[in-house]
Structure 1
Amino acid sequence: MVVALIIACEVGFWVLLALGLAVRYLLKWRRTSVVLLLCEPVLELVLFVVTAIDLKNGAEPSWEHGLAVLYIGYTVAFGHYTIRWLDGHAAHRLGGGPPPRKPPRYGRARARHEAKLWLRAVFGGAVALVLLQLAVWYVGDSGDVSSLRSFQWVAVRTIGIYGLIALSYTVWPRKEPASALPARDPQHVPDALVGRPGKDAASPGGHSN
């Protein structure tokens, strides 16, 4: 049941997002779109409550409960980021707005971008770790909590993977290819090489070398 609810929440997330953006930019109903988008966190709340009730009713803690908690942590950390990203594209394609800014691809700017994504992963992982620990305490000694513990390590490993990716862009920053750099005019001569009257050229009444 928990897995089916996770799938339903994921489908509901995208359905509400599509409806919210369509209502905002096609029908120009901004308030209605805000209400629809604010329903997104309700899905995670429903999933959390159902998971807690399932454990309270004596269900053996399993990978399904751990997966539900990881899903909640992910949506808490990246849900708003995803909505904002898609809202920018919808505003451009449906609302006639400017094209959204693409994430940087090279140098320190890309490293900062990856660091911000890692911080989101840390936040989402921290939420999952706290909820999983609360579930462990809630079950106590009356059930097997090994699956919940294993998903705590999954959260830690996910944070570590994001951290390594961000670190790689800092230690080995991607360099912009030469083809992307602005081309130089072959006819242009730098000012430093242009002769100046009175110095590099003979001036009236003076002498040249």
Structure 2
Amino acid sequence: MIVTLIVICEIGFWVLLAAGLAVRYLLRMPRTGLALLLCEPLLEIVLLVVTAIDLKNGADPSWKHGLAALYIGYTVGHGHRTVKWLDGHAAHRLAGGPPPVRPPRYGMARARHEGAVWLGSVVAAAVASGLLLLAVWYVGPDGETESLWGWITVAWRATGIHGLIALSYAIWPPKDPAAKGSAVPARDPEDVADLPVGGPRKDEEQV
């Protein structure tokens, strides 16, 4: 049941997102569209309540409950970024707005962007861990909570790997190939040494 509900919440997320953007820009009803977009957190609340009820009814904690916590955490940490990105594209395509600003691709600007995305993963792991710890407390010391603790480890392990990837952009920031091609080639030091001081000689100018 929990897995089915996760699938329903994921489908509902995209359905509400598409409906909200269509109403906001195609039907020119921004308030109604915003209301539909604000309904999306209700999906996570429903999933959280159903998961708690399932545990209260005596269900053994399993990977399904851990997956539900990670899904809610991911939505909290990265959902707003997805909505903002799609809203910018919808405003441009459907309402004649300016083109959305693309994320930087090179240099330290790219490193800062990757760091901001990683912070979203930290928030996701923190939210998921908080929910899983509440589940551990809710089940009590006599329950089977090993799988819940395992999902906490999975959440922070994934966040750590993402952090290493983001850190690599700060240590080795990608360089713009166009900037490399536009650089003026430096003159060979030996050629510079052969030139006379004050420019070419008069006999060279006459040749």
1:189 alignment partner in structure 2: none
Q: Which amino acid aligns with 1:61?
A: P
Q: Which amino acid aligns with 1:121?
A: S
1:134 alignment partner in structure 2: 134
2:67 alignment partner in structure 1: 67
Identify, as 1 or 2, the structure richer in helix.
2
TM-score, normalised to structure 1, is 0.85
User: How far apart are 1:102 and its partner, in Å?
Assistant: 0.6
Q: Which amino acid aligns with 1:34?
A: L
Taking the aligned partners of 2:137 and 2:46, their CA distance within structure 1 comes to: 21
User: How far apart are 1:141 and its partner, in Å?
Assistant: 2.3
1:153 alignment partner in structure 2: 153
Question: Deviation digits for residues 169-206 of structure 1, max 9, x if unmatched?
Answer: 0111101113786588xxxxxxxxxxxxxxx9xxxxxx
Q: Which moved more, 1:45-54 or 1:139-148?
A: 139-148
Q: Which amino acid aligns with 1:165?
A: I
Identity %: 66
Q: How many residues align?
A: 185
2:107 alignment partner in structure 1: 107
What SS is found at the alignment partner of 2:58?
Answer: coil
Call closer, same or farther: CA 1:180–1:46 in 2, change over 3 Å.
farther
Call closer, same or farther: CA 1:173–1:31 in 2, change over 3 Å.
same
1:187 alignment partner in structure 2: none
Taking the aligned partners of 1:85 and 1:36, their CA distance within structure 2 comes to: 17
Matched, 1:30 2:25: no
User: How far apart are 1:143 and its partner, in Å?
Assistant: 1.8
What SS is found at the alignment partner of 2:120?
Answer: helix
Q: Which runs of 4+ in 1 moved over 4 A?
A: 179-184
What SS is found at the alignment partner of 1:74?
Answer: helix
Question: Deviation digits for residues 53-93 of structure 1, max 9, x if unmatched?
Answer: 00000000000000000000000111111100000000011
Matched, 1:50 2:50: yes
Q: Which amino acid aligns with 2:111?
A: A
Q: Which amino acid aligns with 1:48?
A: L
Taking the aligned partners of 1:94 and 1:181, their CA distance within structure 2 comes to: 37
User: How far apart are 1:125 and its partner, in Å?
Assistant: 0.5
TM-score, normalised to structure 2, is 0.86
2:79 alignment partner in structure 1: 79
Alignment gaps of 5+ in structure 1: 185-199, 201-209
Taking the aligned partners of 2:121 and 2:94, their CA distance within structure 1 comes to: 31
Taking the aligned partners of 1:175 and 1:183, their CA distance within structure 2 comes to: 13
Taking the aligned partners of 1:169 and 1:148, their CA distance within structure 2 comes to: 33
Alignment gaps of 5+ in structure 2: 185-197, 199-207
2:12 alignment partner in structure 1: 12
